[in-house]
Structures are given as C-alpha cells and as structure tokens.
Amino acid sequence: MIFGDFIKALGQLPDPRFRRVVGWGIGVSIALLAAITWGVQWLIATFASGPVTLPLIGPVNWIDDALGWSMLALMLVLSIVLMLPIAAAVTSLFLDDVADAVEARHYPTLPPAPATSFWDGLRDGIGFFGLMIVANCLAFAIYFTVPPAAPFVFYAMNGYLLGREYFQVAALRREGRAGAHALRQRHAGMVWLAGVLLAVPLSIPVVNLLVPVLGAATFTHLYHRLARQA
C-alpha cells in the first residue's frame, strides 16, 4: 500500500506543477549557496588582503590567496552537503501546490483545502531544515564510531524525519495542526515506514533533489488513505 502511494507520486512527476516546485527549490538553493560563497570570498578579500607579517619570517604575500582558495574549496564541499536540506526548506514553501496537484488528479471530488500561509510555511521549512542539519550532524558521530550501523542509522533517522515532516504537511491542510499530529501519532509506524521508503532516493545524488516533491505527493496519498480509515 505504501509502495503504491510512492508509485502514484512518481507517475505524476511530469506534472508541470511538480516541475515548477522542483525548479524553484533547486534554483533558489543554488542562488543562496552562490551568495554565501561570494560573501565569504568578499570577507576574505576585504579583511585578509595584503601581506601578513609573521614573526621570524617577515611579510608573507600569499596567505590571503591561500585563504581564498581554501574557503572556496570548503564552500564547494559544504554546498554538496547543504544542497538537499536547503532545497527541502525552500521547496517546503510550495508544497501546497504539490498537494493541490495530487488532489486535483486523484481526489477531484474534494472541496479545496485552505491554503497554508506563507509565514506558516516559512516557519515549518526553517524548522525542518534546522532539525535535519542537527540530526544528521549528530548521526555523523555514530557513523564514525560504529561504521557498520551507519546505513541503518541513516535510513531509520531520515525515515522518521521525512515521515514526520511530510505527513504533517499533507494532513495539516485538512486536519489542522492538532488533528494532523493526532493522526500521525495513531499511525506512527506506517508513517515511519513510508519515510524510510522515501529515504532511499535521499541517498542518491541529484535524485535526492526530487525528494521534497515526491515526499509531499506520497504522503498526500497516504494521508487520504489513513483518513478514510479513521
């Protein structure tokens, strides 16, 4: 059943509304990362320009260049790590569009759902971004301490995070915050399993940029299936 929800979401990827949300998420994320990289480079050029005088050595002219290239390399690495959570945070502002597209195609008899306000979407997006960063930083300690457990920790943890976030997004539109939380609690195991399924493409570069849209669509199907059982 959960796999069927995912297949339906995957089959709707060519939908123009899906493509637009993916494009916004990737485009804004690249722009943000480029702006951060430019800002770091500007700070180095402004405050570390010119020769540096070292004790016993004297003036050294290449330190600012070394710092600039080192920070550029570091930002490129950080961009790879941060691209997904930033894209997820940006895309979360537009996930109502994904849910609307799913409901228009698969649940056409439903009345329109109240739109989530921009500020609620922004708050949830920033909260999810922060939670993903903190949780994955903590998980790195386990990856290095117990390497054989790394895949299990990755899928279990990210499955929980994805399930929690995207089921909340899907259910919040029609149940309200308290109702969405209560429904998620009643079906916590199934929500977690659906999140684990979604964590599989999360580990595939480039494909993982589709996870926010696939997550919103999959959990919209899951929400309606569980709501009918309630």
Lowest mean pLDDT, pick from 127-141, 190-204, 214-228: 127-141
Q: What is the pTM of this model?
A: 0.74
Burial of 14-42, coded b for 16+ CB within 10 Å and e otherwise, reads ebebbeebbebbbebbeebbeeebeebbe
Average pLDDT estimate for 147-155: 83
Average pLDDT estimate for 145-161: 84
Token digits for 108? 């056409």
Q: Give 176's contacts (C-beta < 8 A, 6+ positions apart).
A: none
Measured from the Cβ of residue 58, the count of other Cβ atoms closer than 10 Å reads: 9
The residue that leads in pLDDT, 69 or 100, is 100
The residue that leads in pLDDT, 126 or 72, is 126
The residue that leads in pLDDT, 185 or 82, is 185
Q: What is the pLDDT of residues 21-47, one digit of tens each?
A: 888 877 777 777 777 777 766 766 666
The residue that leads in pLDDT, 99 or 120, is 99
Q: What is the pLDDT of residue 58?
A: 46
Token digits for 6? 């995912």
